């Protein structure tokens, strides 16, 4: 792949207002752009031009994570996403729109008319095209409650592909549907409107790495692979969009994300019957003779199987379902039982240290780095009575120091000299669909006996609020990777909806 000079371009002074899903931000832009810092105006216009004309994607912030955007209507541009991320080309992408007018135009392409202000690409002036007959709404009625209450926002909806699809085939691969969302980030919506293009945009990380919530994360993963990163600051939500399929009955949540399951169910009507469709990944969608998924016959047909994948063809039902990723280099253990999880984590540390010391392969690497992410009840040292150590020199850690997130406060503890505790017994584990994550559900209490000589524990607190956990999780995983952690222990969150930690083993998207 061609090595490129990657520029990080701050645009934090451009702060468009939050507007409803029917409203384009272009009127605000033309009214305010002369009063904005002109260097940042130029950067945003340059990014829009690149999206219109180039095959190299642009990284930009959304409310969920940073996205890697390209014109969803041009194959060459979409292939640039796969190349930059080193992402499997059979993994479909989510499309981002700036307004409902743009969405309707995409779902009814023969009725779309591009505004002549967009014909002059050099000025990047454009309006979102609209359909000629708003009474013939191509948006399925079932989605109206979600759009009214949850758009713009971290919610992706599945739509049937039009007979004459405006999207590059690389966006949907073999699917007969396309996942579309409208980000709530005003800056992202403004960029989409200025480019006058629907943007295919997965998360702007190298495939399999934790998702990026800052421009620095993007630079670490994609430096030299892309030319431009728009730096709009940290992302507000911090986890990917929820993916929903309303083209089946009962409707299904195919991927957990920024909108909770119960939040959808509370919308009422048919959505009270919504089911989880991402738990059984052993069943797949079949493929018919022309290579398309045989799931929907005419765009409105009911599909009764709500599993995420089903049939013979090993085809995902939606973007973000086929491949697992967002995984740190370290092995992750998630502790879900709020009444005993700190005891479990303490026992696990003792067991890990003992096993590490006893392994015949360890003399060359005798020390163990343990990462701990606390949320609601765990103490920073898990009650082991450990002493604080100076922070490690990240330039000497096992991973690239650019992984570090300076805004996250990490307490590093030295596990004092002591003989390993032979009584330390690892807790039982239950199977988990993510092979890189172990979920602990049973209780084993072991006295806190520090087990070895030079092991270190890096403890990071995200806070008790589910929003703070979601916002900080990916940054925390990257921070602990930067400190060379061999294993990461995460305190689960008690919440009425999905835990944010679902995303630690989720599939790729935005």
pLDDT tens-place string over residues 52-61: 999 999 999 9
Q: What angle do CA 280, 286, 292 make, to 5 degrees?
A: 125
Q: How far is it, in rounded angstroms, from Cα 315 to Cα 284?
A: 6
The tally of domains found in the chain comes to 2
Q: Name 243's Cβ contacts closer than 8 Å, sequence gap at least 6.
A: 94, 156, 158, 179, 253, 254, 255, 257, 318, 319, 320, 321, 509
Flag whether 2 is in a domain. Answer: no
Q: Which CA distances in Å does 266 have to 140, 269, 293, 467? A: 19, 9, 31, 19
pLDDT tens-place string over residues 493-507: 875 444 444 444 444
Flag whether 446 is in a domain. Answer: no
Domain end, chosen from 196, 211, 244, is at 244
22 and 151 co-located in one domain: yes
Q: Name 266's Cβ contacts closer than 8 Å, sequence gap at least 6.
A: none
Flag whether 54 is in a domain. Answer: yes
Say what the pLDDT of residue 385 is: 83
332 and 239 co-located in one domain: no
In terms of DSSP bridges, do strands 177-181 and 155-160 run parallel, antiparallel, or are they unpaired?
antiparallel
What do you get for the CA distance between the two ends of the chain, in Å? 24
Asked if residue 80 lies in contact with residue 57, where contact means CB atoms within 8 angstroms, the answer is: yes
217 and 340 co-located in one domain: no
221 and 343 co-located in one domain: no
Flag whether 273 is in a domain. Answer: no
pLDDT lower than 70: segments of the chain: 1, 109-135, 279-327, 338-339, 356-366, 389-409, 415-454, 495-509
Asked if residue 508 lies in contact with residue 207, where contact means CB atoms within 8 angstroms, the answer is: yes
84 and 184 co-located in one domain: yes
Q: Going edge to edge, which strands form the sheet with 242-245?
A: 7-10, 228-231, 58-60, 67-71, 199-200, 94-96, 177-181, 155-160, 242-245, 252-255, 275-276
Q: What angle do CA 162, 168, 172 make, to 5 degrees?
A: 70
Q: Which CA distances in Å does 470 have to 259, 441, 504? A: 11, 22, 10
CATH code at 27? 3.90.870.10
Q: How far is it, in rounded angstroms, from Cα 194 to Cα 45?
A: 7
Domain end, chosen from 212, 244, 276, is at 244
pLDDT tens-place string over residues 107-159: 986 544 443 433 333 333 333 334 444 458 999 999 999 999 999 999 999 99
Q: Between the CA atoms of 489, 356, 418 and 439, what dihedral angle is there, to the nearest 10 degrees?
A: 20
372 and 233 co-located in one domain: no
333 and 237 co-located in one domain: no
162 and 47 co-located in one domain: yes
206 and 71 co-located in one domain: yes
384 and 240 co-located in one domain: no
CATH code at 475? 3.40.50
Helix, strand and coil percent figures for the chain, each rounded to 5: 30, 15, 55
- Alpha helices of 35-74 — where are they, by DSSP H? 38-53
Q: Going edge to edge, which strands form the sheet with 387-388?
A: 387-388, 410-414, 456-461, 369-374, 487-491, 331-335, 437-440, 429-430
Q: How far is it, in rounded angstroms, from Cα 171 to Cα 376?
A: 40
Flag whether 148 is in a domain. Answer: yes
Say what the pLDDT of residue 494 is: 72
95 and 215 co-located in one domain: yes
pLDDT tens-place string over residues 326-385: 567 788 888 887 667 888 888 888 888 777 655 555 444 567 888 999 998 898 888 888
Say what the pLDDT of residue 499 is: 41
209 half-sphere exposure, CB direction, 13 A CA radius: 27
Flag whether 198 is in a domain. Answer: yes
Say what the pLDDT of residue 87 is: 75
Flag whether 371 is in a domain. Answer: yes
334 and 471 co-located in one domain: yes
Flag whether 500 is in a domain. Answer: no
Q: Which domain holds residue 369?
A: 328-389+453-494
Domain end, chosen from 210, 244, 278, is at 244
Say what the pLDDT of residue 331 is: 87
């Amino acid at each position: 792949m061609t090595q490129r000079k990657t520029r990080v371009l701050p645009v934090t002074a451009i702060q468009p207002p939050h507007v409803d899903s029917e409203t384009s931000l272009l009127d605000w832009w033309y009214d305010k752009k002369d009063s904005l810092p002109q260097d940042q105006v130029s950067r945003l216009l340059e990014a829009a031009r690149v999206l219109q004309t180039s095959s190299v994607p642009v990284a930009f912030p959304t409310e969920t994570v940073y996205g890697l955007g390209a014109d969803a209507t041009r194959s060459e541009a979409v292939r640039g996403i796969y190349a930059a991320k080193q992402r499997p080309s059979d993994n479909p992408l989510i499309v981002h729109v700036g307004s409902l007018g743009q969405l309707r135009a995409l779902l009814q392409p023969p009725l779309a008319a591009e505004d002549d202000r967009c014909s002059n690409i050099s000025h990047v002036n454009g309006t979102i095209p609209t359909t000629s007959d708003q009474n013939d709404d191509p948006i399925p009625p079932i989605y109206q409650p979600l759009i009214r209450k949850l758009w713009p926002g971290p919610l992706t909806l599945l739509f049937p592909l039009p007979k004459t699809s405006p999207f590059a085939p690389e966006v949907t691969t073999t699917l007969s549907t396309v996942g579309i969302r409208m980000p709530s980030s005003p800056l992202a919506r403004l960029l989409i409107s200025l480019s006058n293009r629907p943007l295919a945009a997965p998360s702007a990380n190298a495939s399999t790495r934790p998702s990026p919530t800052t421009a620095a994360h993007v630079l670490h993963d994609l430096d030299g692979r892309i030319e431009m990163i728009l730096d709009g600051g940290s992302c507000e939500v911090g986890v990917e969009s929820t993916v929903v399929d309303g083209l089946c009955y009962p409707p299904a949540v195919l991927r957990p994300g920024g909108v909770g399951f119960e939040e959808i169910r509370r919308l009422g009507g048919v959505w009270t019957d919504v089911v989880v469709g991402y738990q059984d990944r052993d069943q797949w969608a079949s493929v018919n003779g022309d290579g398309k998924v045989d799931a929907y016959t005419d765009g409105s047909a009911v599909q009764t199987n709500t599993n995420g994948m089903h049939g013979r063809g090993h085809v995902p039902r939606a973007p973000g379902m086929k491949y697992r990723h967002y995984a740190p280099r370290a092995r992750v253990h998630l502790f879900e039982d709020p009444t005993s999880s700190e005891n479990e984590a303490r026992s696990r540390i003792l067991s890990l240290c003992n096993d590490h010391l006893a392994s015949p392969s360890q003399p060359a690497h005798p020390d163990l780095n343990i990462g701990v992410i606390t949320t609601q009840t765990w103490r920073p040292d898990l009650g082991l009575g450990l002493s604080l150590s100076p922070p490690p020199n990240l330039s000497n850690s096992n991973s690239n120091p650019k992984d570090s997130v300076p805004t996250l406060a990490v307490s590093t503890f030295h596990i004092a000299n002591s003989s390993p505790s032979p009584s330390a017994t690892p807790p039982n584990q239950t199977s988990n669909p993510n092979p890189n994550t172990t979920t602990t559900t049973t209780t084993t209490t072991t006295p806190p006996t520090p087990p070895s000589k030079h092991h270190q524990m890096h403890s990071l607190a995200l806070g008790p609020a589910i929003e703070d956990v979601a916002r900080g999780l990916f940054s925390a995983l990257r921070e602990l990777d930067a400190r060379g952690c061999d294993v990461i222990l995460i305190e689960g969150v008690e919440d009425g909806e999905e835990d944010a930690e679902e995303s630690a083993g989720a599939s790729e998207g935005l």
